[in-house]
Structure 1
């Protein structure tokens, strides 16, 4: 299936991360010019170099999403270089905080709000209006099961991921008559090659992962490509009538089961 990305520029925030880098590779394989945007320049360059070594087109860009001047300058430079951003994947975010509310660190709360939510707003604010003017655009907000169902010890993460759902639906409404769609993807935990392990072996590697796998009807965790393949489809011409949707990649963990 041809997704229609040959003349498109796709920007992936957090592009050096596990899901972000897989998003970048899938878009490049489908013919898009990829912008690997990350606060870690060396890591972004590694992803871009790997894509180019495999015949794709990619550029590594260092940018701090919490710095509005940096974001504005970066997008202006990219607009001049590429002609504009057609696809924006809001993937950047922090997920390392684990603490009950009584012990929650105010600095962690503020950090997660700044990166996960306000950082997403900052870059979308720079990209979205131009998409509407050109009457074509695709935005994906990367949420999480924690944004749907909460996350024990993850107050700041769950709150920001829930907010990305409301933010994404608002973008979908505002872009609907301008050819711009926005959808929200909510993965279960993704663990790469560890997803191939049976639960009994996974317990020896990470008890937390094993508990989630046991609670998942498919009895396994996800892979990065499970998420990225959906992301690419939702940005394709074939998905032009899909907007404002929250789509899970969960193995059924969000289903009621007993």
Structure 2
């Protein structure tokens, strides 16, 4: 694949949720640009397949499987990345789950804790773990995958919406804290994207679906993106072409956020 963007040669990118969907498309695009890619996902078979496909195309990839909301898995991921490649230059926090869209008054403790743990706590834990290397070398790029639900209140259930708003806040906090340390943090807020996330999603609550229908249907009417379209935004943000972007939250939603 040819690109007018600066390459990513000599850099190591850790990409979570890279067994499928946006993460997989991002891993392949980054590898095409010359980065060594660490494919992180709970799905061990899918992570290995992504890494194998990258290798067949002449790229370099390492698959690491595990639940990234588990601190022990974070420790292992960082240790394997450091051992193989010397550290993390680019981090793409993409892994996430949807919620059931249950109205707030009926959301269970279990759903709230699961969605926030995977969608917000896990990205924080991994970001905190890779920051020492980035600070040491005075260079690093963090790309967080937020959501349209991180920009408004009616594009997801309360747990998902709160977690994605948290990702937006985390991105801005990182940018403010490390703006003078050579570290950039930006986020992408996709609208509807054609991925496999619905196959593992919780059953949708009928009342919640009806409450959110006006907003969700607006997004679908505008259009459903392909994973590669979101990956291309991540590729730009990871490159030196975006070296003046820090703390930006970029809607990649066909114009949904503008309505």
Q: TM-score range by the shorter chain?
A: 0.7 to 0.9
Q: Which residue of 2 aligns with 1:207?
A: none
Report which structure shows greater RCO (CA 8 Å, sep ≥6): 2
CA-atom RMSD in angstroms: 2.2
Structure 1: tracts of 5 or more residues without a match: 193-209
Q: Secondary structure at the match of 1:177?
A: coil
Residues 65-101 of structure 1, C-alpha deviations (whole Å, 9 max, x = no match):
1211221232023112201100000001111422112
Q: How many residues align structurally?
A: 241
Partner in structure 1 of residue 203 of structure 2: none
TM-score scaled by structure 2?
Answer: 0.87
Distance, in Å, in 2 between the alignment partners of 1:36 and 1:154 is: 28
Post-superposition offset of 1:253:
0.9
Aligned to 1:161: 164
With structure 1 as the length reference, what TM-score do the two structures score? 0.87
Residue number in structure 1 paired with 2:199: none
CA distance in structure 1 between the partners assigned to 2:57 and 2:17 by the alignment: 21
Change (3 A) 1:131 1:152: closer
* Counterpart for residue 75 of structure 1: 78
1:48 equivalenced with 2:74 (yes/no): no
Q: How does 1:1-258 map to 2 (within 5 A)?
A: 1-151=4-154, 154-191=157-194, 215-216=218-219, 219-256=222-259
Unaligned runs of 5+ in 2: 196-212
**Which whole-Å CA distance do the structure 1 matches of 2:83 and 2:27 have between them?**
21
Pair 1:46–1:159, CA change in 2 (3 A): same
Question: Per-residue deviation at 1:216?
Answer: 4.7
> Following the alignment from structure 2 to structure 1, what is the Cα–Cα distance between the partners of residues 62 and 215?
36
**Whole-angstrom CA distance in 1 between matches of 2:155 and 2:226:** 23
Distance 1:152 1:54 in 2: 37
Cα distance in 2 for partners of 1:149, 1:81 equals: 40
Shift of 1:255: 1.8
Moved over 3 A (4+): 210-214, 216-219
TM-superposed CA distance for 1:151, in Å, is 3.3
Residue by residue over 1:194-239, the C-alpha shift from the partner in whole angstroms, topping out at 9 and shown as x without a partner, is: xxxxxxxxxxxxxxxx987862598322111111101010110111
